[in-house]
Structure 1
């Protein structure tokens, strides 16, 4: 049963609410502060796309939230208070999230960052990114998408300084992935700053924007000279943002490898935005595992290798899963890594704990001596739910040999 949005006055009631009893283990999860609801937590797995009041095993109030199937779970706890989830609630939510990022707003070195991050900011299923005055909303399930009218209205009331907004559809079932939502339209492509480096972005071309914002601290280490004077291999490079950061930090040369044909064009745009000559920077359209073979055949080796694969990928030849196959990336990288080299090992797989990720890395290194130089998790603009480890999905190790 789905309830339509209903408004009574400016800050009126938005919806009716179904009462649902959680099983005992789910009740304990909610009491511990975990907000993600999974199918196994529910008495009826067919419930979907409804606002709910979660009750405990004795019928007592636990929380308010909603149910909607998505890649990550079956719904979310929104509040453990007996409060109305009305327009005023969302206005306050967005104002609080904005105020947490004051250091980013005031910086002259960064103009692209996250301003709302799912349950880290009090509402799972929604993220909002900021690109030099424009906002990008990502809807992760059908129900939160159905409520977007009131969410956008609240956002505009809370943050009237935002010039315009776009949306990304991150669930299946609609016939589009991206569109303009409100306000001014951004240029088709434009540049943003991160650590003082320019990156070309695009807000209305599929699900991507040209840069993954959660990696800005890792890129910052490269801008600060981690690869100065060295050769860098960037695998699964997408638009080569790591390579540009390394080049701006003094890398002698970079090689960026990605299977997507468009990666070359998008990567060059970042380099050109920073007036970098391309003489010592290569862009290779190739499967990463094929590139390992190519590099060995041609006696190529590198001082720094960056590994940031998708959590899961499939092509005509094979499938790749971070949880099962990351050790192969490590092992094959070591074969073309120079003595005293550095590996940057990264994953954004939320279902893989940091300890399990480290097990994959250790399996790849085998008996090869190595040391962990630096560890990165999500940066401060990507607020997390500290009670839920899966909320802090990014795991990056800088490793020296």
Structure 2
């Protein structure tokens, strides 16, 4: 195992349990992917982990001791993760949730999700993927009830995006349930499955009655999951807007598997800002609007980023929101802090001259277990805002 010396500031973070290493933390140039023991500049041990570049950082601290990273280490991590989620297995209304949440469960670079008896592994760097055989073997010891598994390779060097790795193959679509609502998922269609499990609480609020009797506009709707939850919860009508052509059939399917006639809802394949203009021309207004854009998107020559343009979305939404309407503002952009996100929204609302109250706030659901020492792992930010014009 390689011995790596880190700088003084990094040593302080690692001692406090902070798990992520970045290039600036290392005293020597970045070395090839491998397990490593980390030391401060005085030669004092800081713990064991590994180095491997990924979209955030160059490595992870896994343990504050000099423990060997082997089968027993992985088994222990999975045993602890399963125990933390015991109540999710007993929830008769939900059978899709996160089983293992990377650094939150002590193994940065890997997440595992549960979809109605099946597991989906997501690998975030080359090195953790090279440990796949040992990790999957340990997983099967702790989760013998898993029918079959798939994997998603979420690092740039990967030769493929998705494949089946063991056990049975899932039906297509595989129907899962969350808060009593059914969703059609596809476990082997690229990096996406058809539903983002981190939005469980927001969909739960819609399905639980927040949208009853209200019209809802769902922007950047993807497969229409928010719309389906709202319709299930008694929304008088939903409108789903997404630029991707596949969103039409995917959204129709989500309504159909819940016994809701797609023709009773509205689904548009178009640019979100284009739809705002269309709605204003047609004098359309909504009781609720959901804004959950990707962190970054490009449409022709136009680009959108949450960090720069979220306020513009909010301003547009206010113009077609009913008086005393609800705006659900959401982002999973890790590069935008909670404080900055709220500031962007409040600035946009003040610019529009409206009164507003944040009446509910959501972060990641409990199955997305977060390490206390790594608060930025709780990347999801959702504000429910009542707006009075």
Query: Shorter-chain-normalised TM-score: which range?
Result: over 0.9
String of CA shifts for 1:180-228, please: whole Å, max 9, x gaps. Answer: 0011111121210000110001100100001000001110000111111
> 1:317, CA displacement in angstroms?
2.8
Counterpart in the other structure of 2:314: 330
Q: What TM-score, normalized by structure 2, do the two folds share?
A: 0.97
- Structure 1 position 252 matched with structure 2 position 236: yes
SS in 2 for 1:216: helix
Counterpart in the other structure of 1:363: 347
Greater Cα shift, 37-46 or 91-100? 37-46
> In 1, distance between residues paired with 2:358 and 2:29?
43
> In 2, distance between residues paired with 1:80 and 1:324?
38
SS in 1 for 2:88: helix
String of CA shifts for 1:354-386, please: whole Å, max 9, x gaps. Answer: 001111111211232100010000000000111
String of CA shifts for 1:89-126, please: whole Å, max 9, x gaps. Answer: 10111111011111100110000000000110000000
> In 2, distance between residues paired with 1:372 and 1:206?
36
Q: Contact conserved, 2:218 with 2:240, CA < 8 A, in 1?
A: yes
Which of residues 92, 103, 121 in structure 2 aligns to 1:137? 121
> 1:318, CA displacement in angstroms?
1.1
Which of residues 382, 385, 388 in structure 2 aligns to 1:396? 382
Counterpart in the other structure of 1:231: 215
> 1:31, CA displacement in angstroms?
1.6
> In 2, distance between residues paired with 1:237 and 1:375?
20
SS in 2 for 1:371: strand
> In 2, distance between residues paired with 1:20 and 1:317?
44
- Structure 1 position 177 matched with structure 2 position 161: yes
Counterpart in the other structure of 1:278: 262
Distance 1:347 1:48, change over 3 A: farther
Counterpart in the other structure of 2:274: 290
> 1:174, CA displacement in angstroms?
2.4
Structure 1's consecutive aligned runs of 4 or more residues displaced over 6 angstroms after TM superposition are none
String of CA shifts for 1:252-281, please: whole Å, max 9, x gaps. Answer: 000001111001111111100110122331
Runs of 5+ consecutive residues of structure 1 not aligned to the other structure: 1-16
> 1:290, CA displacement in angstroms?
1.0
Q: How many residues align?
A: 385
Q: Contact conserved, 1:55 with 1:61, CA < 8 A, in 2?
A: yes
Which of residues 49, 52, 75 in structure 2 aligns to 1:65? 49
> In 2, distance between residues paired with 1:295 and 1:47?
54
Counterpart in the other structure of 1:13: none
Counterpart in the other structure of 1:354: 338
> In 2, distance between residues paired with 1:34 and 1:313?
31
> In 2, distance between residues paired with 1:124 and 1:29?
16
SS in 2 for 1:224: helix
Greater Cα shift, 122-131 or 270-279? 270-279
String of CA shifts for 1:129-156, please: whole Å, max 9, x gaps. Answer: 0001100000001111111111111111
> In 1, distance between residues paired with 2:261 and 2:290?
21
Runs of 5+ consecutive residues of structure 2 not aligned to the other structure: none
SS in 2 for 1:314: strand
Counterpart in the other structure of 2:362: 376
> In 1, distance between residues paired with 2:373 and 2:356?
32
Q: Contact conserved, 1:351 with 1:390, CA < 8 A, in 2?
A: no
Greater Cα shift, 121-130 or 150-159? 150-159
> In 2, distance between residues paired with 1:255 and 1:78?
45
> 1:175, CA displacement in angstroms?
2.5
SS in 2 for 1:400: strand
Q: Contact conserved, 1:252 with 1:280, CA < 8 A, in 2?
A: no
Counterpart in the other structure of 1:269: 253
Q: What TM-score, normalized by structure 1, do the two folds share?
A: 0.94
> In 2, distance between residues paired with 1:121 and 1:46?
26
Which of residues 20, 24, 27 in structure 2 aligns to 1:43? 27
> In 2, distance between residues paired with 1:196 and 1:326?
31
> In 1, distance between residues paired with 2:85 and 2:354?
41
